Amino acid sequence: MPCNTCVTATSQPTQMKDFASANIFTWCTNCGNYGINAAVRRALVELDIKPCETITCFDIGCNGNGADKIGGYTFHGLHGRVIPAACGAALANTETKVIAFGGDGGTLGEGVGHLVHGVRGNYNVTFILHNNLNYGLTKGQASPTTKKNMKMDSSPDGPTSEALHPVRFVLALESTFVARTFSGDVKHMTKVFVEAIKHPGFSFVEVFQSCPTYNKQTPHEWYQQRVFDVSTVSDYDPSNRARAFEIAEDIENKIAIGVLYKDKNSVPQSARQQNRAKLNTQLVEETRQYPIDTLLKAFR
Amino acid sequence: MTYLHRFVVKVAGESGMGINSVGEVLAKALKNVGMFVFGYREYPSLIKGGYSCYQLDISDTKINASSSECDVLLSFSRVSLHAYLNTVREGGSVIHSVIQVRFTPEEEKIIADRRLTVVYLPAREMAITIGGNKIMENTVMLGAIWQVLDLDLEELKSMITEQFAKKPEVIPGNINCLEAGYTFKLEGVSKSQLDLRKTENFTDDYLLTGNHAIALGAVAGGVRAYYAYPMTPSSSILSYLADISHETGMLVKQIEDEISVANMAVGSMFAGARTLIGTAGGGFDLMTETVSLSGITETPFMCILAQRPGPATGLPTWTSSSDLNIAVYAGHGEYTRLVLAASDIESCFILTQVGLNMAEKYQIPVILLTEKQIAESIFQVNRMPDPIPIERHILSNDDAKKMKSEDRFAITETGISPRWLPGQSEAVYTANSDEHLPDGTLTEEADTAWASYNKRLRKEKTLLEELPEPIVFGDPNADISFVGWGSVKNTMLDVMACLSEFTDKKISYLHYEYLYPVKTKVLKEYAKKAKRLVLVENNATGQLGQIVTAKTEIPFWEKVLKCDGRPFFVEDIVNFILGGSSNAV
């Protein structure tokens, strides 16, 4: 149901306070989640999106504890399953901005299949991957992105599986928008989130996130010293997937951030439904009794 | 003499031979001459080969169940001939197109003992010489069975002409093949003794499966998104809804797995689109965590659970009622849910709509159980029931505007809180899988957690008051009082209709359609009066019986249970009434 009450009621531009929550943050001091929360709100304000026009969807984990700490309608789902829930919401009402958040554990461990098909389906969802290289909320176990030299709870000698490279993985999935940023730079995150939210289709944003409690190896300073935005590379063309693969490869020394890949011709899932091409209504407003008389004739 | 007022034709062959199309044409032709049919399919989980059959029970009155034995076996393949020979009733016939058949001594004994007539019909050769194409073998066989049914060929001719309207060049060959089969001398084959010509009562009924009825219920019930992962016996809901999606505008999408299906449904329902999903037991197992999510977030959720035998892959293409327990107990934690069970076309159509209304009114998960026997069998119905009004229980925009965030999950006496959709009001909220306060804010405080938990559980009491009691059919002074659910009803009613043909005993049947939370008032009265109380379930452990006994302390000393992938055939119940023993585990 499109927001036809509050949008007209508040003609004022959206402000940061509109997306504020009265609830107290419960994250560790210096957790990257503070910056991400602020940058998401800033991006929404910059785009002048009203809280009642947004659905933010949260996975389980430290990021999920932010589900009730941002304005707008929010949904807090199951571990690893936030992507299908967000995709379902996006199909139901394309006039709503749907933003989903998940950690490296839920997204690349338990729910990795959902990431694959969310990308393939190009649902109109902005997905923000909180990648802090570990399972924080369960107290510091190895995640699919934990580096092999990191000794973790339950993996005292370090993980015995190879670390996944999220951007390389998603670039290989016929993605239409792939970006990277890091949680120590709210300004950069805001810029990237704005682009991601504007993109029609599945926007994948990896945020390298600090975890001051369980990941001492890559704090904000570590990233700060290594990142550069691809827009500073004079000949960088974000429509070139091969170039994106190449520049995104290094995540140890010179780490490329910014919009790495973008398909300008992206067609979101909702616009791929041929049987709905002539309908300009939303699923949420279409429920009524549809006649079955004509359909029944086929069974005579 | 006909058995239970029916004549049974079994068309058997390998998968992929067109058995179903012969069965479907036959069913339609019989319906068109004013007969009543029930079509039952047995097939293996493979695409080509093996053996399968399409069995048509034919009667001059409405029937909804199958017999285990047939009067005529029409066999197209060696394997199916041997496999189904043992299902031919005493005095029955076998018409086959298998060259140089050799029966084993055991089979010869069956043929002799039961006085079976076996006729070889060179259908393939006739198809080639008369029709010019071996695929017209099916048409020759169709002509032969029409001869056995002792019916006028004109009806079948016009049907064949209609069927091939877009390929007129094959019509003459098919008509000739039909006539050849119709006039082929079927030495010793006894014709149907049923009076099959009751055209004065012709009403042009519908022939459709339970899955069709569920899909039509979804259309009438205003479903706008259907998500599913293919799994027998639920798949044809997905394929049929996709087939008609250009007419309905419904978003019908095959999803990568059942976990996604369930979570997409929750996401769509949260945003406000009326959504339906469907699966079988294995797929539902994958969804169970999401059923629990629906419970705590109070997001409406409705799933069709089409049953087949487990555990695990089990008997993938066969029938069962063994998933009641997962429907009732799936998902961690405690919360209110509604479990319904369909049995026939009417209930598939209506309960789909009821379930959607209830899911939205109570903001709970609803599971509608069907079985392969219901989902894929062909039922004949005179008319579809009228659709029921859609009730969404979503606040109007004006009312939503007056809400505060903390109204969304407000602690109420009924357990039901006001629901408005994202975008409807500035009063935003969190649908939180963590325990939460009335506005969705996470809480771990004992008193607030307790209050929210119990609020959601209170819905069960409110729901129970609204649910109908089970329905009782048959004689109030019955000698045997049966209790069951699902497709058992169809077998019971078919047997009840011809009870006097084989016994003086009186029977009654109590049928559960609204399974959980379980209503017990009518059952208690029924059990009190019962001379013999007998539980009938298509599973091994009597799952409904266990639930009912736990609630009422009424024991079921006699149980008729079945767990071989086959439905309850009319003979199963007849034999029990005639003194067969129960088989309680």
CATH number of the domain residue B193 falls in: 3.40.920.10
Question: B-contacting residues of A 29-88, CB under 8 Å?
Answer: 51-53, 55, 57, 60, 64-65, 67-68, 71-78, 81, 84-88
What are the Cα distances from residue B378, in Å, to B74, B169, B202, B213, B513?
19, 30, 19, 11, 20
The rounded distance, in Å, linking the Cα atoms of A108 and A146 is 11
Shortest Cα–Cα distance, B307 to chain A (Å): 24
Instruction: Check whether residue B402 and residue B505 sit in a common domain.
Output: no
> How far, CA to CA in Å, does B154 sit from each of A299, B36, B137?
21, 19, 19
Q: Given a cut of 50, is residue A5 above it in pLDDT?
A: no
Which of B430, B432, B439, B441 to mutate against chain A (most A CBs within 10 Å)? B430
* Separation CA B346–CA B369 (nearest Å): 14
The CA distances from residue A117 to A113, A292, B383, B474, in Å, are 6, 33, 42, 53
pLDDT for the residue numbered B50: 80
Contacts for A188 with CB less than 8 Å, ≥ 6 apart: A181, A182, A229, A257, A258
In the predicted structure, residue A8 carries a pLDDT above the cut 50:
no
> Does B271 sit within 8 Å of A55, measured CB to CB?
yes
Predicted local distance difference test score (pLDDT) of residue B197: 59
CB-based contacts of A180: which residues, under 8 Å, 6+ apart?
A: A167, A192, A205, A206, A207, A208, A248, A255, A256, A257, A258, A260
B270 to chain A, closest Cα gap in Å: 7
CB A57 within 8 A of CB A82: yes
Return the percent helix, strand and coil in chain A, to nearest 5: 35, 15, 45
Residue B65 lies in a domain: yes
pLDDT, residue A2, reads 47
Domain CATH number, residue B315: 3.40.50.970
Interface test with B, best of A23, A52, A70, A75 (most B CBs within 10 A): A75
Could you tell me if residue A4 is inside a domain? no
Give the span between the Cα atoms of B84 and B93, in whole angstroms: 12
Count: domains in chain B: 4
pLDDT greater than 50 at residue B95: yes
Cα–Cα distance measured from residue B255 to residue A276, given in angstroms and rounded to the nearest whole number: 18
User: Could you give the CA distance from residue A48 to residue B346 in angstroms, rounded to a whole number?
Assistant: 51
Reported ipTM exceeds the 0.90 cut: yes
Same domain (yes/no): B146, B272: no
Do B142 and B265 have their domain in common? no
Q: Who contacts A8 (Cβ-Cβ below 8 Å, separation ≥6)?
A: none
Residue where a domain terminates, one of B204, B233, B262:
B204
pLDDT digits (tens, 9 = 90+) for B167-223: 999 999 999 999 999 999 999 998 887 776 555 667 789 999 999 999 999 999 999
Would strands A97-103 and A54-58 be described as parallel, antiparallel, or unpaired? parallel
Tell whether A109 lies on the interface with B, counting CB pairs under 8 A. no
Judged by a CB distance cut-off of 8 A, whether residue A15 touches chain B is: no
**A65 token code pair:** 């504890």
**B466, B498, B518 - which closes a domain:** B466
Residue-range definition of the domain harbouring residue B126: 6-204
Length of chain A: 300
Contact B516/B327 with Cβ under 8 angstroms? yes
Whether residues B148 and B291 fall in one domain:
no
Judge residue B449's burial from the number of C-beta atoms within 10 Å of its C-beta, 0-12 exposed, 13-18 middle, 19 or more buried. middle
pLDDT at B1 over 60: no
pLDDT of A10 > 80? The answer is no
Q: What's the CATH code of the domain at A78?
A: 3.40.50.970
User: What pLDDT score does A9 carry?
Assistant: 53
Q: What is the pLDDT of residue A1?
A: 45
Whether residue A14 lies inside any domain: the answer is no
Global confidence as pTM: 0.97
C-alpha distance from B327 to closest chain A C-alpha (Å)? 20
DSSP string for A33-86: HHHHHHHHHHHHHHTT--GGGEEEEE-SSTGGGGTTSSSSEEEE--TT-HHHHH
Is B484 found in the same domain as B459? no
Same domain, B213 and B321: yes
Domain that holds residue A73: 19-299
Summary mean pLDDT of chain B = 95
B322-332 pLDDT per residue, tens: 999 999 999 99
CB distance B257 to B229 below 8 Å: yes
**pLDDT value of position B106:** 97
Percentage of residues of chain B with pLDDT beyond 70? 98
A258: in domain:
yes
Establish if A300 touches chain B: CB-CB under 8 angstroms. yes
Mean pLDDT across chain A, nearest whole number? 95
Residue B351 has a pLDDT of: 98
- Rg (Cα) of chain B, in Å, rounded? 26
- Asked if residue B88 and residue B195 are part of one domain, the reply reads yes
Count the residues in chain B. 585
Contacts 24+ apart (CB under 8 A), A277-282: A279/B249, A282/A1, A282/A2, A282/A92, A282/A93, A282/A94, A282/A95, A282/B273
The model's confidence at residue B18, banded by pLDDT at 50, 70 and 90, is confident
Co-location of B366 and B220 in the same domain:
yes
The answer, yes or no, to whether the previous bond of B517 is cis (omega within 30 of 0) is yes
Please tell me the distance from the alpha carbon of residue B333 to that of residue B296, in angstroms, as a whole number: 9
Q: What's the start-to-end Cα distance of chain B, in Å? A: 36
> Which of B204, B238, B273 is at the close of a domain?
B204
pLDDT digits (tens, 9 = 90+) for A98-108: 999 999 999 99
Q: In b/e form, how buried is each residue of B374-386, taking b as 16+ CB within 10 angstroms?
A: bbbbbbbbeebee
State the total domains in chain A.
Answer: 1
Look at residue A279 and tell me if it is in a domain.
yes
Look at the block and give the residue holding tokens 């067109």.
B18
A199 found inside a domain:
yes
pLDDT tens track for B493-550: 999 999 999 999 999 999 999 999 999 999 999 999 999 999 999 999 999 999 999 9
Same domain assignment for residues B285 and B316 = yes
